[in-house]
Structure 1
Amino acid sequence: MLLGSLSFLYEKIKKKNKKKNKKISENIIIFFIQENFHENSKTLIFSIFPTVLTNLIIKYTIMNMDSKILFSKEEEYLTNLLYDKIGKFSTELLFRASEHKFNSNTFHKKCDQQGSTLVIIQNEYDHVYGGYSNISWNKNIQIQTDSTAFLWCVRPQMKFFGFKKSELVGVQAMWNYQGYGPLYGRGNDLWITNKCNENKFSGYGSGQSFNCTGKDYGAKDEMLNQHRQCYCIIREYEVFKIYKTDS
């Protein structure tokens, strides 16, 4: 309850400071606690964990994602995974497919040239998975190299998928096509088509660049083709811009 209250207050001050382009610091949070809590609460907060709590609030709120797909445990896993890979970060929602008629052209309008992004996908089987890349999307037909890219899933199981040994430099980490949404790996390893909520042309699992097949995502044998790929309808997908923060 206390953390939730502090988090709510922190979100308010974060919005104010974002407009002024100011950095959120521990001192700002301490001041906010002093201004908004009763004396006994302040004494408890600062006597038990003066720095630990504020750091926890910063991590909890800055790295919190506004996803309509993820459950709390899934978000926690993904947040920790990203933190291990890139350090502290903040997020901004660029695109939610259901709000833009699952249009791949709109995906490119919203997400191209945005730098690092995280894609979160939910398919008709209620599998939740996606990818991270440090390189911008674009609408030109182009292969992108990104040695930091990776794929993952959190439902029905939590797994991380890095590059295969033969693909460690990430030469074909991403593909760009005007008529598609996000595409990862050669093959492709994960791909989303235009109007993916109306057709079964999207999917995952070729395992050519990234170390995963459809079964690794939780797909059952009857969902897979002869190449161990799973083609499916997409219920929803979201794209978040990732801002790497220094502290």
Structure 2
Amino acid sequence: MSLNLFPRLSENLCSLLEYAEDYDVIIRVGGGSNNNSSNSGKNTCNRYIRQLEFQAHSLILRARSEYFRTALSSKWARKEGETFIFEKPNISPTVFEVILRYIYSGRIGLEKLGEGDIVKLLIAADELIFEELIYPLQEYLLQNKQKWIQDNILYVLNTVIERNACSRLRSHCLSIVCPEPQKYFDSKEFMSLDETTLVSLLSRDDFCMDEGKIWDYLINWGLKNTYGIKNKDASKWSIEEFCSLEKTLQRCIPLIRFWQLSLEDFNSKVRPYAEILPRNLKLKLLRHFSSTKSSNNNTNSNSGSASLNINTGLVTPGTSPTEVSPILSSNDLILSLHNITKKSASYSNSLTVSPPVSPSVTPFSPPVRTIDSTIITHQQAALIACWIDRKNVKDFTPLTSIPYIFRLLFRGSRDGFSAKTFHDKCDGRGATIVVVRVSGTKELIGGYNPIGWSSPRDVEWRGTRDSFIFSLSNSHSDSSNNVSTPKSKISRIKKDCVNEAIQLQDKLGPSFGFYELKIIDDAHEGSSSYASGGLKYEHSIRDKFNYFQVDDYEVFQVLKK
């Protein structure tokens, strides 16, 4: 039999802190600056930490802490007489007192600490190598302080981004920020984001923001964090001001996926700041955007068309075309960028403009970060891609890992809901995905057409073995990534009905089977669109077999990466 007397031992050891007459260590804590926040979690720059002295015993510190065992060794320690002097200016006295009491007692009371101090305690535990504290402190925050973390997400992310030991909390913060970054980048805390945190976010493939918007936020962040630039009008800057901004953003610029910008965004957003781009990158962008203008004119009529395998009768999605807005002609773009680059002659060699390269040798394009949709999330797009490839739902991957690009062709709320507009924008574009948000219920339903749309005057049916209709769990506003719930359904074309998979007519919107999913002309004006089931497709994708009104719908071209 053994007696558990640890509580009494803990109390006795703690008394040494109260009556430390035989101490031989003085620890001076605070007195430096720290850009971490107070308990409120709001960022402040160079916040002063008040200094306090703590008295301790080297024997206990060495026995309880690997960090102090090294710090108090003869190689590292500083002594005044017989007393060790140790300084930690970057840790607050409040946090260090908790650490010191833990060293003596083995206990930590979190109830009286503010949330910000608990985060600081976590960082101090990592720095002072108290590994046994790191996991439980993260769990405490995640289990008990979810709302506070959500309200102070950029502060927490700033604090833990470089702390690999805090990977649990860091991953949680990233899972909140990456799906909806604009919500947090619009906050005033964004301007105080550390460069390392911004670099980490921009490096991620699951950072769901349009590349043009990313560039806008990056420029604003750079201007805020660059000394000496007062005028936001780049056309009035000196070469020194361009150089200053370039230095501020030098780690971030290589992470922008310029090849995913439209020509319109490139002209309006990037061109005014072309001086901050590395010379080689400017040349590549010049060639890329001048060639995409000409290639778009040459290939627009047949881009993205599906190819038919004669042996199998299957149709595969088309290859990726480029769509741009004709803001500048190719020659205008070349001259414009050439003139911009000439201004930088004081710090770069003269520019030689090479002929445009063909689209087939344009620079490698990194994965697309997000899907241009107001209806579905990138996780739901990944699930649809999984269905296209007939993979197990449990194996679906993030959008950036799938072999397709979903390129928006049509959006009812943007382009109008007429069948004519749908056909004008979607006919002859190869494989497409249709997603529909039902008015009132906000159900998400849709279908995959692997053979493309056309607009015959009379109703026709076209055959394919690979079409399907589906419904999705409505998680667009949900932070959960679990879209493969029982609410998500897929219904494939029946084997004996493959010749009636797709319904075509000029007066109809997208239609699958025998009214399994039919979107009518001007579908937003009345409840005349229809979804049934069990006729040509395996089963219904709706619980109710009735008419519905369309709130909005989108059509995406499915392109091989």
TM-score normalised to structure 2 length: 0.33
* Residue 163 (structure 1) aligned to one of 477, 488, 493: 493
Task: Give the whole-Å Cα distance in 2 for the aligned partners of 1:3 and 1:131.
Answer: 36
Partner of residue 383, structure 2: 77
Matched, 1:98 2:425: no
* Residue 433 (structure 2) aligned to one of 105, 113, 118: 118
Partner of residue 123, structure 2: none
Partner of residue 196, structure 1: 523
Asked if structure 2 preserves the Cα contact closer than 8 Å seen for 1:145 and 1:174, the reply is: yes
Asked if structure 1 preserves the Cα contact closer than 8 Å seen for 2:409 and 2:555, the reply is: yes
Tell me which moved more, 90-99 or 155-164.
155-164
Matched, 1:232 2:548: yes
Tell me which moved more, 76-85 or 127-136.
76-85
Asked if structure 1 preserves the Cα contact closer than 8 Å seen for 2:465 and 2:495, the reply is: no
The alignment of Structure 1 onto Structure 2 pairs a total of residues equal to 198
CA deviation after TM superposition for structure 1 residue 10, in Å: 5.3
Partner of residue 464, structure 2: 146
Tell me which moved more, 109-118 or 133-142.
133-142
Matched, 1:178 2:506: yes
Task: Give the whole-Å Cα distance in 2 for the aligned partners of 1:196 and 1:13.
Answer: 35
Matched, 1:128 2:128: no
Return the letter of the residue paired with 1:101: G
Task: Give the whole-Å Cα distance in 2 for the aligned partners of 1:4 and 1:114.
Answer: 34
Task: Give the whole-Å Cα distance in 2 for the aligned partners of 1:207 and 1:23.
Answer: 47
Higher strand share: 1
CA deviation after TM superposition for structure 1 residue 23, in Å: 6.0
Partner of residue 12, structure 1: 258
* Residue 207 (structure 1) aligned to one of 528, 534, 559: 534
**What does 1:47-62 correspond to in 2, within 5 Å?**
58=367, 61=368
CA deviation after TM superposition for structure 1 residue 114, in Å: 0.9
Asked if structure 1 preserves the Cα contact closer than 8 Å seen for 2:405 and 2:559, the reply is: yes
TM-score normalised to structure 1 length: 0.71
Asked if structure 2 preserves the Cα contact closer than 8 Å seen for 1:14 and 1:24, the reply is: no
Task: Give the whole-Å Cα distance in 2 for the aligned partners of 1:239 and 1:199.
Answer: 20
Asked if structure 2 preserves the Cα contact closer than 8 Å seen for 1:112 and 1:136, the reply is: yes
CA deviation after TM superposition for structure 1 residue 165, in Å: 4.1
Asked if structure 2 preserves the Cα contact closer than 8 Å seen for 1:129 and 1:155, the reply is: no
Give deviations 1:21-59, integer Å, cap 9, x for gaps: 24678xx57xxxxxxxxxxxxxxxxxxxxxxxxxxx63x
Unpaired segments ≥5 residues, structure 2: 1-173, 175-198, 206-210, 212-254, 262-284, 293-357, 392-401, 475-486
Task: Give the whole-Å Cα distance in 2 for the aligned partners of 1:158 and 1:94.
Answer: 24
Give deviations 1:153-174, integer Å, cap 9, x for gaps: 113511111122432xx11111
Task: Give the whole-Å Cα distance in 1 for the aligned partners of 2:258 and 2:201.
Answer: 13
Give deviations 1:162-213, integer Å, cap 9, x for gaps: 122432xx11111111111000012x11000011111111021232111122
- Name which one, 1 or 2, has greater alpha-carbon Rg: 2
CA deviation after TM superposition for structure 1 residue 242, in Å: 1.1
CA deviation after TM superposition for structure 1 residue 74, in Å: 2.5
Query: In the superposition, relative to structure 1, how do residues 3 and 126 fare at CA in structure 2: closer, same or farther (>3 Å)?
Result: farther
Tell me which moved more, 3-12 or 138-147.
3-12
Asked if structure 2 preserves the Cα contact closer than 8 Å seen for 1:162 and 1:211, the reply is: yes
Give deviations 1:106-139, integer Å, cap 9, x for gaps: 1011111111111011101111011111112111
Task: Give the whole-Å Cα distance in 1 for the aligned partners of 2:201 and 2:432.
Answer: 27
Task: Give the whole-Å Cα distance in 2 for the aligned partners of 1:121 and 1:196.
Answer: 11
Task: Give the whole-Å Cα distance in 2 for the aligned partners of 1:160 and 1:209.
Answer: 13
Task: Give the whole-Å Cα distance in 2 for the aligned partners of 1:176 and 1:76.
Answer: 27
Task: Give the whole-Å Cα distance in 2 for the aligned partners of 1:133 and 1:23.
Answer: 30
Q: How big is the alpha-carbon RMSD for the aligned residues of Structure 1 and Structure 2?
A: 2.5
Return the letter of the residue paired with 1:70: I
Task: Give the whole-Å Cα distance in 1 for the aligned partners of 2:388 and 2:257.
Answer: 21
Percent identical among aligned pairs is 22
Partner of 1:171, secondary structure, is helix
CA deviation after TM superposition for structure 1 residue 73, in Å: 3.8
Asked if structure 1 preserves the Cα contact closer than 8 Å seen for 2:385 and 2:404, the reply is: no
Query: In the superposition, relative to structure 1, how do residues 150 and 98 fare at CA in structure 2: closer, same or farther (>3 Å)?
Result: same
Return the letter of the residue paired with 1:21: P
Task: Give the whole-Å Cα distance in 2 for the aligned partners of 1:78 and 1:14.
Answer: 22
Matched, 1:68 2:396: no
Asked if structure 2 preserves the Cα contact closer than 8 Å seen for 1:74 and 1:154, the reply is: yes
Asked if structure 2 preserves the Cα contact closer than 8 Å seen for 1:83 and 1:89, the reply is: no
- Larger RCO of the pair (alpha carbons < 8 Å, separation 6+): 1
Query: In the superposition, relative to structure 1, how do residues 4 and 120 fare at CA in structure 2: closer, same or farther (>3 Å)?
Result: farther
Query: In the superposition, relative to structure 1, how do residues 173 and 5 fare at CA in structure 2: closer, same or farther (>3 Å)?
Result: same
Return the letter of the residue paired with 1:195: D
